[in-house]
């Protein structure tokens, strides 16, 4: 029997049986089958069910999909193309020196940056702007009040609407400003304008310290030793809810996330308790329908997990995502001034009770400290700026996290010629699904496509 006749006989099997066989294969093998003959290519490209199941069974391969769109809503050709690109990026990222496909330059100062697909949100001391990386064109900007000193910000985009939440230091305390921008059509050169949706000031000893954005929901942490709170704002209706997270006594290094699961939007609370890494997942409370601020409690957690090992002193959660996730992650690096030299990677579920999904211990250089860190939301990749205090040298590092463990290496090879030095880096932005790394300097921004 010739290869062509064997393939023809295989394709004459009942469709449900053929699908069952293909779902037993790795996604790489299914992609190879598309190149065997026209019959296999036509069958795999036309089966939405096949690709919906392949994507569901391979959660460790993050795909570059439209924001807030679930994979089950997309046709087979789109998912096949996204999977092929994700595998190419995965293989490139695992190389000792990943190949840079393209570099783009923007002449702009950048204190902090965030990636929203092909858009880059840039926060400076006195301005907020949005840039298209493909054309290096500013598509919208706004001057910030001179009395504000921006500390941190979060952003999200749904269709053509961009929402940005900025926490700033002011003379009397802290201030939250929420801006909305309607993105202009890409074919026009008109610059879009920001609109201030909400401004809230907090005076005294309980400042804003952390912000997250998901769709039209903004969540802001309020620091307090005795009674920490989370302020939730629905920017579509103006409704607010002041939430008591009911954290256990003695919990330190408190952080939180907004995460979309199969069961809806959730708040993920994290912290250190008795040198253990604690994770709780709660349902988002309801907002008032008349726009008033409600006092609410998160109640009992839907899930609660704790690491079986001792965690480090500081950690960073995975970045926010616009897609559904089954788990979130955290990285904890050692302090070179302490005797503890272990670094930790944690991945934990957000939709099911039980132990942590995985905990890995790894080691970076004993004299190294991490100055800037970007950890992907799907917990497969990270980039960070590392400084070795024994030699005062800086390096840009990459990490890969799989079920087999952690692999750490330099992002750029020794022979790579760059238009800057690593110690000049002021900010980092990283898109785990597309492989874009954006480096902000004092006067310039460089975007690398891997």
Domain ranges of the chain: 3-93, 102-449
Residue 247, CB-side half-sphere exposure with 13 Å CA sphere = 27
Report pLDDT for 82. Answer: 94
Over range 207-215, report the average pLDDT. Answer: 94
Q: What pLDDT, in 10s, does the model give residues 349-381? A: 877 654 556 788 888 888 999 999 999 878 789
Q: What pLDDT, in 10s, does the model give residues 264-313? A: 889 999 988 887 888 899 998 887 766 666 888 888 888 888 886 665 56
Over range 55-83, report the average pLDDT. Answer: 88
Query: Yes or no: is domain 102-449 CATH 3.30.70.100?
Result: no
| Banded pLDDT at 415 (limits 50, 70, 90) | confident
Question: Given a cut of 80, is residue 84 above it in pLDDT?
Answer: yes
Question: Given a cut of 80, is residue 189 above it in pLDDT?
Answer: no
84-93 CB contacts, 8 Å cutoff, 24+ apart: 84/31, 86/61, 86/62, 86/433, 87/27, 87/28, 87/31, 87/61, 89/434, 89/435, 89/450, 90/61, 90/380, 92/435, 92/450, 93/381, 93/398, 93/400, 93/435, 93/450
Report pLDDT for 449. Answer: 95
* Higher-confidence position of 415 and 185: 415
Report pLDDT for 7. Answer: 59
> 70 — alpha (psi -120 to 50), left (phi > 0) or beta?
beta
In the block, residue with structure tokens 């970045």: 319
Q: What pLDDT, in 10s, does the model give residues 116-169? A: 989 999 999 889 999 999 899 999 999 998 778 999 999 999 888 899 999 999
Q: What pLDDT, in 10s, does the model give residues 105-123? A: 999 988 899 999 899 999 9
Architecture of domain 3-93: Up-down Bundle (1.20)
First-to-final CA distance of the chain: 43
> What pTM was estimated for this model as a whole?
0.89
Report pLDDT for 6. Answer: 57
| Strands (DSSP E) found in 215-263 | 217-222, 229-234, 240-244, 252-261
Over range 234-260, report the average pLDDT. Answer: 88
Percent of the chain whose pLDDT exceeds 70: 93
* Higher-confidence position of 347 and 103: 103
Instruction: Give me the helix-helix angle, 15-22 and 48-57, nearest 10°.
Output: 20
Question: Given a cut of 60, is residue 211 above it in pLDDT?
Answer: yes
93-100 CB contacts, 8 Å cutoff, 24+ apart: 93/381, 93/398, 93/400, 93/435, 93/450, 94/400, 94/407, 96/409, 96/413, 97/410, 97/412, 97/413, 97/415, 97/416, 98/398, 98/411, 98/450, 99/450, 100/412, 100/416, 100/448, 100/449, 100/450
Q: What pLDDT, in 10s, does the model give residues 222-240? A: 998 788 999 999 998 888 9
Percent of the chain whose pLDDT exceeds 90: 43
Three-state DSSP state, 23: coil
Q: Mean pLDDT in the chain?
A: 87
| Banded pLDDT at 18 (limits 50, 70, 90) | confident
* Higher-confidence position of 323 and 237: 237
């Amino acid at each position: 029997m010739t290869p062509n006749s064997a393939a023809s006989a295989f394709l004459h099997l009942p469709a449900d049986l053929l699908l069952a066989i293909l779902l037993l294969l790795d996604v790489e093998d299914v992609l190879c089958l598309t190149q065997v003959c026209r019959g296999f290519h036509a069958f795999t490209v036309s089966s939405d069910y096949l690709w919906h199941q392949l994507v569901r069974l391979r959660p460790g391969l993050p795909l570059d999909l439209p924001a807030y769109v679930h994979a089950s809503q997309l046709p087979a050709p789109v998912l096949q193309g996204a999977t092929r690109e994700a595998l190419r990026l995965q293989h490139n990222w695992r190389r000792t020196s990943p190949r840079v496909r393209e570099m783009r330059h923007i002449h702009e100062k950048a204190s902090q940056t965030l990636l929203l697909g092909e858009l880059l949100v840039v926060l400076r001391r006195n301005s907020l702007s949005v840039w298209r990386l493909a054309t290096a064109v500013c598509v919208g900007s706004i001057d910030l009040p001179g009395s504000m000193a921006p500390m941190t910000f979060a952003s999200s985009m749904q269709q053509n609407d961009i929402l940005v939440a900025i926490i700033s230091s002011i003379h009397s305390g802290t201030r939250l400003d929420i801006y909305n921008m309607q993105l202009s059509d890409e074919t026009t050169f008109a610059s879009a304008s920001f609109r201030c949706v909400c401004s809230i000031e907090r005076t005294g000893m309980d400042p804003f310290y952390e912000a997250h954005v998901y769709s039209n929901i903004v969540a802001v942490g309020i620091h307090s030793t005795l009674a920490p709170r989370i302020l939730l704002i629905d920017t579509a209706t103006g409704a607010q809810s002041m939430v008591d997270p009911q954290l256990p006594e003695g919990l330190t290094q408190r952080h939180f996330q907004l995460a979309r699961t199969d069961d809806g939007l959730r708040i993920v609370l994290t912290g250190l308790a008795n040198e253990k890494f604690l994770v709780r997942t709660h349902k988002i409370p309801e907002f008032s329908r008349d726009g008033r601020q409600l006092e609410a409690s998160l109640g009992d957690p839907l899930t609660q997990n704790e690491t079986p090992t001792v965690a480090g002193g500081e950690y960073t959660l995975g970045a926010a995502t616009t897609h559904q996730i089954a788990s979130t992650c955290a990285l904890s690096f050692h302090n070179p001034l302490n005797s503890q030299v272990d670094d930790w990677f944690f991945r934990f579920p957000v939709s099911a009770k039980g132990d942590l999904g995985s905990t890995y211990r790894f080691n970076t250089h004993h004299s190294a400290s991490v100055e800037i860190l970007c950890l992907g939301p799907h917990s497969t990749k990270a980039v960070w700026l590392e400084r070795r205090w024994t030699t005062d040298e800086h390096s840009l590092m990459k990490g890969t996290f799989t079920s087999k463990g952690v692999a750490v290496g330099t992002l750029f090879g020794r022979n790579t010629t760059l238009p800057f030095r690593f110690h000049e880096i002021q900010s980092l932005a990283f898109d785990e699904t597309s492989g874009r790394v954006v480096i902000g300097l004092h006067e310039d921004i460089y975007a690398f496509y891997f």
